[in-house]
Amino acid sequence: MLTLQDLFDMLAYGELSRLAVGNSTLGTIVEADHPKIVSHINLGLTELHKRFNLKQRDLKLHQVTGVNTYYLRSTYAAVTEYVDDTTYIEHTVEEPFTDDLLKVLSIKTPDGTELSINDSTKNNWVSIPLFDTLIFSNISVPEIVTVHYQADHPKIVVENSFNAKNIDLFIPNYILDPLLLFIAGRIVRGMNTSPAEGSTQPVNTFMYQYELACKKLETLGIMTDDNTTRLIFDTRGFV
């Protein structure tokens, strides 16, 4: 399992090896700079999870009589025994809903019927005016529906007990290259001093290389649409 410390080391020996970041000397990342670096890492992880649909989850939504609008937010979540008219999202202590929703992919009734999304020509459809808001066109009998969604990576938090060696990153190895480039680009843009980022040639910028790395993954078989298997690397010699 890849850890946050592994990512720090890759940055220090790679993209940031010729840069002095904050309080760090060349090729190092000191503890005082962890919050700054982690903020860029969190942003990079979110961008890649949005682009490549790397993680998907389900949640159970308990419909309420007379209520058509539901907000997919953790403030409306509760463990099974405490679900009621105001906490209608069911989750567990082991797997809580943590506001990691990026995009709703599908909504299914208990019998497996998939409800149409944003299609008013259907008799029973769901409007999604905001990414985390569902408006059901017709709830004759309240049901427990399953919302399948594209999810974000868990946010990394720097706190008193923070130890980069103990924080696992739940990401496939093939997105490491674009992730490192994205982080380096964000850091250098903030410094505004790097020769690479200051070059007039876009090929020399970390962000340009990040975009190229993402497009390469898409070409090799990482799908970005909602209904396909994203990996076909196993047939092309990748793991």
Q: Answer for the pair 187, 16: CB distance below 8 angstroms, yes or no.
A: yes
Structure tokens at 148: 């399948």
pLDDT in tens, 14-40: 887 776 554 455 556 788 889 999 999
Query: Is residue 197 predicted with pLDDT exceeding 70?
Result: no
Task: Write down the mean pLDDT value for the chain.
Answer: 86
Q: What is the CA radius of gyration of the chain?
A: 21
Boundaries of every domain in the chain: 4-53+154-234, 56-151
Q: What is the Cα–Cα distance from 146 to 8, expressed in whole angstroms? A: 38
Q: State residue 188's pLDDT score.
A: 82
CA 48 to centroid of chain Cα atoms: 7
Residue in the structure block whose two tokens are 């005016």:
129
Mean pLDDT in residue range 222-236: 43
Q: CB 174: neighbour CB atoms within 10 A?
A: 18
The residue among 223 and 105 whose pLDDT is bigger is 105
pLDDT in tens, 69-83: 999 999 999 999 999
DSSP annotation of 201 reads: S
Q: What is the Cα–Cα distance from 177 to 233, expressed in whole angstroms? A: 16
Query: Is residue 120 predicted with pLDDT exceeding 70?
Result: yes
Q: Answer for the pair 70, 88: CB distance below 8 angstroms, yes or no.
A: yes
pLDDT in tens, 82-118: 999 999 999 999 999 999 999 999 999 999 999 999 9
Least-confidence region, from 25-34, 43-52, 71-80, 221-230: 221-230
Query: Is residue 179 predicted with pLDDT exceeding 60?
Result: yes
Q: State residue 220's pLDDT score.
A: 84
Percent of the chain with pLDDT over 90: 68
| Residue of 168, 172, 148 whose CA lies nearest to 49 | 172
Q: What is the Cα–Cα distance from 136 to 115, expressed in whole angstroms? A: 9
Helices (H), the chain: 4-13, 34-52, 176-191, 195-198, 206-220
Q: What would you measure as the largest C-alpha separation in the chain, in angstroms?
A: 65
Q: State residue 30's pLDDT score.
A: 80
The burial class, CB within 10 Å (0-12 / 13-18 / 19+), for 8 is buried
Q: What is the Cα–Cα distance from 81 to 186, expressed in whole angstroms? A: 44
Query: Is residue 177 predicted with pLDDT exceeding 90?
Result: yes
How many CA atoms lie less than 13 Å away from 135 in the CB half-sphere?
8
